[in-house]
């Protein structure tokens, strides 16, 4: 009895320690977000005051209203709204196209046996690992000749060049983990290769595909370097670039930067909340392991 009581006391102590550590981590993660929100609703005079208050006396949501109502092309709120629209279109298109082509390619690499399969897989991984700065000059010349600079379509093609290899490399692991007995049983029943892929592999690998698609969306949503180099106007400007431009030569619009940060993070957070069960399932996705 004494040993059981000691064990229970030790278990409670560890449980309390985990709770304390969890609270500390939560504060460290959420404190910057909370301060960013407070900054977004503070008046400019409070933001530049000599003594900065953690809780302002007056607050305003006018910046949020301006983001969705301003029509002045030089207004930071209007610029951010256009950038938000551009980022949404680009990220969705890149994610959908990369998932479609990447899924078929990853299935081929995982389940088919053909000459040069390993070398091609290593080449795909190599293109994903190349630093962007090493490719920017030749890519800029190519895109300039193809008249793809400063366009959403150009950025979609550019993002696919590094997100598609990521999709292929990730998804081939999910397809490779599915037992071959599913495939053999379906083939015995007369199913074609496309039917096996559609009715057997897609449903089993769906959690992994959704988790990978979310990561692909976030990669394109947060990308900054290529957007900086290949865009020059509002035609294709994305959120990271718009936020960076709020930092002027003589002034810094802290309030609008915070508003952009809050709104720009809402879409990824909502996606993560909606598909959170698929993200967890995707970490252990696959059929019967070999």
Q: What is the pLDDT of residues 122-138, one digit of tens each?
A: 888 888 788 888 888 88
Beta bridge partners of 252: 247
| Token pair for 154 | 């150009």
238 neighbors 87 (Cβ within 8 angstroms)? yes
Distance CA 76, CA 72 (A): 9
What the chain holds in terms of domains, given with CATH numbers, is 25-60 (no CATH), 75-283 (1.10.3720.10)
The tens place of each residue's pLDDT in the chain, 290 residues long, gives: 555 565 566 667 777 888 899 899 988 888 888 888 888 888 877 777 767 777 777 888 888 888 888 777 777 888 888 999 999 999 999 999 999 998 888 888 888 777 877 788 888 888 878 888 888 888 899 999 998 888 999 999 999 988 998 898 888 877 877 777 777 787 887 777 778 778 887 888 788 888 888 889 999 998 999 998 998 888 889 999 888 887 765 567 788 888 888 988 888 888 888 877 766 665 555 444 44
| Token pair for 72 | 């002045």
What is the per-residue pLDDT across 144-160, written as a single tens digit (0 to 9) for each? 999 888 899 999 999 99
What is the per-residue pLDDT across 241-279, written as a single tens digit (0 to 9) for each? 888 887 765 567 788 888 888 988 888 888 888 877 766
Coil vs helix vs strand at 40: helix
Alpha-helical runs (H) found in the chain: 2-40, 44-47, 62-69, 76-111, 117-129, 132-145, 152-176, 180-188, 193-196, 202-222, 225-230, 239-245, 254-274, 276-283
For residue 194, what is the DSSP state?
H
Torsion of CA 114, 119, 123, 124, to 10 degrees: 40
| Token pair for 219 | 């990669």
């Amino acid at each position: 009895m004494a040993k059981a009581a000691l064990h229970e006391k030790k278990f409670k102590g560890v449980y309390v320690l985990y709770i304390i550590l969890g609270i500390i981590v939560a504060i460290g993660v959420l404190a910057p977000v909370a301060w960013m929100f407070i900054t977004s609703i503070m008046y400019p005079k409070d933001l530049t005051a000599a003594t900065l208050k953690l809780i302002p006396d007056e607050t305003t949501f006018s910046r949020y209203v301006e983001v969705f109502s301003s029509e002045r092309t030089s207004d930071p709120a209007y610029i951010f709204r256009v950038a938000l629209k551009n980022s949404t279109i680009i990220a969705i298109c890149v994610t959908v196209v990369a998932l479609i082509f990447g899924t078929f390619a990853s299935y081929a690499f995982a389940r088919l046996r053909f000459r040069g399969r390993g070398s091609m897989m290593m080449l795909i991984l190599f293109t994903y690992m190349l630093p962007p700065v090493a490719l920017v000059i030749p890519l800029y010349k190519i895109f300039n000749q193809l008249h793809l600079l400063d366009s959403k379509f150009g950025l979609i093609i550019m993002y696919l060049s590094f997100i598609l290899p990521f999709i292929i490399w990730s998804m081939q692991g999910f397809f490779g983990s599915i037992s071959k007995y599913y495939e053999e049983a379906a083939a015995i029943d007369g199913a074609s290769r496309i039917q096996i892929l559609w009715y057997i592999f897609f449903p089993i690998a769906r959690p992994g595909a959704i988790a990978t698609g979310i990561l692909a969306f976030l990669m394109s949503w947060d990308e900054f370097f290529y957007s900086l180099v290949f865009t020059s106007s509002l035609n294709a400007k994305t959120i990271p670039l718009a936020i960076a431009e709020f930092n002027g030569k003589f002034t810094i619009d802290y309030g609008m930067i915070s508003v952009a940060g809050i709104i720009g993070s809402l879409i990824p957070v909502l996606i993560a909340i909606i598909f959170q069960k698929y993200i967890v399932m995707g970490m252990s996705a696959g059929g019967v392991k070999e």
